[in-house]
Structure 1
Amino acid sequence: MTGDEGEEGRRARRLMERAHLGEREHAAAASGAEREAVSVYRRPAAASPGRYLADLAEVLVDLGTPLTGRGLAVEALPLAVEAVTIRRELAAASPERHRAGLAQAQDCLAAVLAAIGRPAGGRPSGGRPAGGRPGEGHPGDGRPGP
């Protein structure tokens, strides 16, 4: 790892610490610091995924969760999806090490989807398949059809 990657990682950690400390007092400033941390983490995660990819996923969740809480779930959706994608890849390679992080990312994604009216099963609110009629089952979902 080069010195630049190490410095970027340290800078991103400082930004996240600043975001967490300022979150209670200045939500917008905290969000800006978190966004900058995501941007900063992308470079070292690309250059050294084994070292920084889990950190990137954590930062994505750390940004997506408060965005959802502030009514910006649509903005949080791509962050949560990316965090789950990263965590799934990491958990596939090392389940014991990354299972908790995957669960955290999935919880974030579920909260985002619920906030925008798309429960985690991919169905719009209302409990039926997209384009389906009330009472109509969906192949493979375990519920009876008409």
Structure 2
Amino acid sequence: MTIVAWDGKTLAADRMGDAGGLKRTTTKIRRFDGGLFGSSGAASRGAEIFAWIESGADPARVPAFQLVPDDYQSVMVVRNDGTVWLYGCSAYPFQMEDPFHAIGSGRDFAMAAMWLGKTAVQAVHVASQFCSGCGMGIDALEL
């Protein structure tokens, strides 16, 4: 339940969180010394993995949930040099080489929108219209 989109210039995300079926407003993207951070999944886990990345992402200190298949936090880091790195079920990220990317339940809608020339903010808006797990506003950060 999320949409985080990168268009090569802007990282954008919806603001909808869920607490046992109750919609909540939350921030899913952040700026840090290394670049921009966005996560899809539990907000508390997003905060924990953000702190881990911000402190240097030592593989020996990765949050335990990040190593569990089907239970990890999907994370996108856009480094200050513009490269995009995804964390999946590992302490080690992999680089994305496409000009735009998205994570979360609304990612397919956002990817299609950006492929059609929309910005990351516009892509998050599109995803929020069609994906029931996205909405409640948009945050955006430029690199």
TM normalised by structure 1 equals 0.26
Compute the TM-score of the two structures, normalised by the length of structure 2: 0.27
- More helix per residue: 1
Larger radius of gyration: 1
**Relative contact order higher in (CA < 8 Å, ≥ 6 apart):** 2
- Bigger strand share: 2
